[in-house]
Amino acid sequence: MTLTDTPAALVTGASGGLGAAIAADLAADHTVLLGGRDTAALGALAEQVPGSRPWPVDLTDADAVAAACAGIDRLDVLVHNAGVCELGTIADSPTDQWRRSMETNLFAVVELTRVLLPALRAAGGHVVLINSGAGLRVHPGWGSYAAGKFALRAFGDALRGEEPDLRVTSVHPGRIDTAMQRRIVATEGRDYDPDEFLRPDTVAAAVGNAVRTAADAHPTEIMLRPIAR
């Protein structure tokens, strides 16, 4: 199944925050599949973003992923945005926390990419991995999250080398003003000030710029940090 005559993009974690902003940016010149588990939120976003449609799936369920991808024979852009973040020192982080991080932040990315590789190859497509500053350096209390993001960076490097006809971009933003960020700041016991963080639209624009980069260039890594205030 070819989605439409326009380029097609799939954005995971699209029900809100950064994912919704990326979907809205790409919808200017793509047909966008809105990936996520919150069917109601995806439906509401699809009504606001012309040319998009919900693509509900639990990315940690390999059978569900295979079924959802069935029939997609061409995909121009795959943006891996879905992720989880739990904080805690190594002493206080049980093994299950590390497993949850790896399951969503790495294994789900690997499996969805693997299943969609034929469609990406058919389009000479572009895979965008929303990583983190935590994929470059580790701060105390962020071990399980950073481990998944470091592994995601390794996955991106391997994919780039193994699939030379695809473009693979790892995006390493600083902390972003999202609902997830509010939960993180609450865990840290601090007051929330949105001005401390990047705006979702700012990061989404960087992703859109990478996707729209002329075909003679390969944007391999993007790093964004909030302006110190």
Which of the residues are catalytic?
Answer: 145
Quote the CA–CA distance of 30 and 226 in Å, as a whole number: 28
Per-residue H/E/C for 5-64: CCCEEEECCCCCHHHHHHHHHHCCCCEEEEEECCHHHHHHHHHHCCCEEEEECCCCCHHH
The DSSP letter of residue 92 is: G
**Cα(202)–Cα(72) distance, rounded to whole angstroms?**
30
Distance (Å, whole) CA 85 – CA 88: 10
3-state secondary structure of 150: helix
